[in-house]
Chains A and B, each alone.
Chain A
C-alpha cells in the first residue's frame, strides 16, 4: 500500500526575473516498509523533493499524498500539525536540542503535540532508546554522546510518534564509514520492523544497498528507480 504518492510535482523558485525549476514533473511513490534511496549530485533537487514529501515546502504544481492526506494545498499551520503527527525527520547535522538528555530529545516530539511527557511517553522513549542500543545513555546530553549515538537518538526522535514516513537527509555524511554502515543497518532494521516507509537522501553510493530501491535525480528530474535490495 502506498504511503507517499507524489505526482507530477513541479517546484519553481523565482530569482529576480528568472524562474529556476528545482523539480520538473517528478513522480514517485513509496510503499509501506519500503526504503528508497534518493541519489543525485548537489543542486539536483534532492532537498526540494524531500522537503515537499515531508510538508516543509509546498509544490508549485502537482499533488502530494502522504498516508492518505493530500497536503498539496495545506497552509503553514496545517503542515505544522501534519508533520508533527505523520512524518519523522533525521537531518544531516544531527540537530538534537543541546540542553536536553537523549530521553528528553525524544519527548520533545510529545511536548510539541501539546502533551506533558507522561509515564507512557517516557516508557516509550526509554524502550525506543534501548532498542537503538542507547539504554545506558538515556540521561546523557548530546554533548556527551558520540556522533553515531547522536544520530541514533535522532532516529529515535523521528520514530517516536510512529510516523508513516521517515525522511533521512544524508544521515551518514557526518559519520565515518564503519559507523555510517552501522547507522544504515539500524535504519533498515527499524524501518522494516515497523513497516515504515523511508526516503534516504545520500551522495554515498556505498550506502544505497541498504535501500530497497534507488531513485536518481538530475536537474530536478527523476528516473524510474532501480531495485537495489
Chain B
C-alpha cells in the first residue's frame, strides 16, 4: 500500500487540472523543441555530415563558406601543417533548380567535395550529383536531370542521401569541377578558378586550429566542426531564441507544479497533522508530495508527446518540425526536474505541520 499512489488512483479528479495544464505545456515544449531541431538539422546537415575535425576558411571570410576562398598555395601550407592527415576541398553555391515534372523551383545547395561526407559516396563523375532527400520530397527521382540556376546547368541525380541539407536547402553533392562549372555559369560575379575551393575539411591529430592558422601565417581561419556548425548564418541566433522560450516555459511548468501542490498541501494540513501524530515522518509525507508531482509530470509528458506527434503529422511538410528521441528525453527530464523543484515549494508547509495540531482540533 502506497498512500500517494492510492490517492492518485482513487481521487484522480484532484489532479486533473494540473495534469491538463502540464500536458499542454509539455506539448508546447516538444513543439518548440521540435521546431528548433528542425531548423537546426535542416540548416546544418551538410556540415555535421563532414568526416573531419576542423574546417578551414580564408581569413577574410568571417567564417562564411560563400565569402571564403582557399588557394592551392594555402592548401599546400595546410597539408604541411603539424597534425594534418587528410585534406579535402569543399564549396557551396545556393541556387534554384528546375525538377522535371514540377512547376515550383526547388532550392538547392550545389556542394562540391573531395572527401565524402557521412553517407555520401565518393565524388561522382562530371555532371552527376547525389541529392539530399529534401529534393526527393520536392519531386526529384534517381535519373532525373535537374536544371540548376539561371543558366539551367544540368545535373543528373544518381542517388539520395539523408540529413545533409544546407541552410534549409537540399544539397546536391557533386565533384569539385562540376561545382566550379555551376558556380561560374550562374554566379558570374564570384567565379572561381580551377585551383580554388571555398574551404578545406581537415582531419588529423592535436591542436589543428592553432597549427593550421600558424602554418598559413594567419591567412586562414580554422574552426572545429562544432564551431563551424554554429557559425552558419542564423543557427546560433535560432538556438538562443528557441532555448530562451523553452527555458521560460519550463519556469512556467515549475510555477504550475509549485502552485498546484502548495494548494493541495494546504488542503491536507489537517490530514498531515493526524498522520504525523500517528507516526509519519516529515520526510515520508514530503516524499509523497514529490512522488505525486513526478507522476503527474510523467502522465503529462505522455499526453503531451502524443499531442505533439499528432500535431507533427497534421502540419504541412514545409514546417521544419522534427521530433527527435533526444528532444523527447530532454523534455521528459525538464518536466521531471521542474516537478521535483516545484513540489519542493511544499516542503516548508509540510515541515511546519505540528502533530499536536491533530489534538483538540474539531475542524
A contact residues vs B (CB 8 Å cutoff): 46-47, 50-51, 54, 56-57, 77, 80-81, 83-85, 89, 91-93, 95, 97-100, 104, 107-109, 111-113, 116-117, 157, 167, 169-170, 173-174
A80-B276, A83-B278, A91-B274 are contacts. A50–B359 as well, Cβ < 8 Å? Answer: yes
- Judge whether A173 and B359 touch: CB under 8 Å: no
- Judge whether A91 and B358 touch: CB under 8 Å: yes
| Partner of A112 from B11, B270, B284, B359 at Cβ < 8 Å | B284
- Judge whether A51 and B361 touch: CB under 8 Å: no
Q: Which of B302-359 contact A (CB under 8 A)?
A: 355-356, 358-359
- Judge whether A83 and B277 touch: CB under 8 Å: yes
Check if B363 is an interface residue, CB within 8 A of chain A: yes
- Judge whether A99 and B6 touch: CB under 8 Å: yes
- Judge whether A95 and B1 touch: CB under 8 Å: no
A121 to chain B, nearest CB (A): 9
| Partner of A51 from B1, B270, B359, B363 at Cβ < 8 Å | B359
Q: Which residues of B contact A117 (CB under 8 A)?
A: 1
Check if B66 is an interface residue, CB within 8 A of chain A: no
| Partner of A83 from B271, B279, B284, B361 at Cβ < 8 Å | B279
A56-B356, A91-B359, A117-B1 are contacts. A99–B10 as well, Cβ < 8 Å? Answer: yes
Q: Which residues of B contact A97 (CB under 8 A)?
A: 3, 271, 275
Q: How far is it, in angstroms, between the C-alpha of A152 and the C-alpha of B203 when the chains are bound? A: 80
- Judge whether B359 and A85 touch: CB under 8 Å: no
Given A108-B3, A108-B275, A169-B360, 19 additional A-B pairs, CB 8 A? A50-B360, A51-B359, A57-B356, A80-B280, A80-B355, A89-B358, A89-B359, A91-B274, A92-B361, A92-B362, A93-B361, A95-B271, A97-B3, A98-B271, A99-B6, A99-B7, A99-B10, A100-B3, A109-B278
A93-B362, A93-B363, A173-B362 are contacts. A112–B10 as well, Cβ < 8 Å? Answer: no
A84-B278, A85-B279, A116-B1 are contacts. A100–B6 as well, Cβ < 8 Å? Answer: yes
A139 to chain B, nearest CB (A): 12
Q: How far is it, in angstroms, between the C-alpha of A185 and the C-alpha of B215 when the chains are bound? A: 100
Q: How far is it, in angstroms, between the C-alpha of A15 and the C-alpha of B279 when the chains are bound? A: 29
A99-B6, A112-B278, A112-B279 are contacts. A104–B1 as well, Cβ < 8 Å? Answer: yes
A99-B7, A104-B6, A111-B3 are contacts. A92–B279 as well, Cβ < 8 Å? Answer: no
Q: Which residues of B contact A169 (CB under 8 A)?
A: 359-360
Check if B77 is an interface residue, CB within 8 A of chain A: no
Q: Which residues of A contact B363 (CB under 8 A)?
A: 93
| Partner of A80 from B3, B11, B279 at Cβ < 8 Å | B279
Check if B64 is an interface residue, CB within 8 A of chain A: no
| Partner of A77 from B10, B11, B274, B281 at Cβ < 8 Å | B281
CB closest chain-B residue, reference A99: B10
CB closest chain-B residue, reference A88: B278
B1 to chain A, nearest CB (A): 5
- Judge whether A157 and B359 touch: CB under 8 Å: no
Q: Which residues of B contact A100 (CB under 8 A)?
A: 3, 6
Q: How far is it, in angstroms, between the C-alpha of A142 and the C-alpha of B358 when the chains are bound? A: 18
Q: Which of B228-283 contact A (CB under 8 A)?
A: 270-271, 274-281
B163 to chain A, nearest CB (A): 50
Q: How far is it, in angstroms, between the C-alpha of A116 and the C-alpha of B1 when the chains are bound? A: 6
The listed residue with most A CB atoms (<10 A of its CB), out of B274, B279, B281, B363, is B279
Q: Which of B1-47 contact A (CB under 8 A)?
A: 1-3, 6-7, 10-11
Q: How far is it, in angstroms, between the C-alpha of A180 and the C-alpha of B359 when the chains are bound? A: 19
| Partner of A99 from B11, B275, B280, B358 at Cβ < 8 Å | B11
| Partner of A111 from B1, B281, B358, B362 at Cβ < 8 Å | B1
Q: Which residues of A contact B356 (CB under 8 A)?
A: 51, 56-57
- Judge whether B281 and A80 touch: CB under 8 Å: yes
A217 to chain B, nearest CB (A): 13
| Partner of A109 from B2, B279, B359, B362 at Cβ < 8 Å | B279
- Judge whether A113 and B361 touch: CB under 8 Å: no
Q: How far is it, in angstroms, between the C-alpha of A56 and the C-alpha of B277 when the chains are bound? A: 7
- Judge whether B278 and A56 touch: CB under 8 Å: no
Q: Which residues of A contact B7 (CB under 8 A)?
A: 99
Q: How far is it, in angstroms, between the C-alpha of A101 and the C-alpha of B278 when the chains are bound? A: 17
Complex A-B, nearest 7 residue pairs according to Cβ-Cβ distance, in ascending order:
A84-B279, A47-B360, A56-B356, A95-B274, A99-B10, A112-B279, A117-B1
Q: Which residues of A contact B361 (CB under 8 A)?
A: 91-93
Q: How far is it, in angstroms, between the C-alpha of A50 and the C-alpha of B361 when the chains are bound? A: 13
Q: How far is it, in angstroms, between the C-alpha of A93 and the C-alpha of B10 when the chains are bound? A: 23
Q: Which residues of B contact A77 (CB under 8 A)?
A: 281
Can you list 23 A-B pairs, Cβ within 8 angstroms, ordered by A? A50-B360, A54-B277, A56-B356, A77-B281, A80-B281, A80-B355, A83-B277, A83-B355, A89-B277, A91-B274, A91-B358, A91-B359, A91-B361, A92-B359, A95-B274, A97-B3, A99-B11, A104-B6, A107-B1, A108-B278, A112-B279, A117-B1, A169-B360
Q: Which of B167-226 contact A (CB under 8 A)?
A: none
CB closest chain-A residue, reference B279: A84
A148 to chain B, nearest CB (A): 17
CB closest chain-A residue, reference B274: A95
- Judge whether A157 and B355 touch: CB under 8 Å: no
Q: How far is it, in angstroms, between the C-alpha of A169 and the C-alpha of B362 when the chains are bound? A: 10
Q: How far is it, in angstroms, between the C-alpha of A109 and the C-alpha of B1 when the chains are bound? A: 11
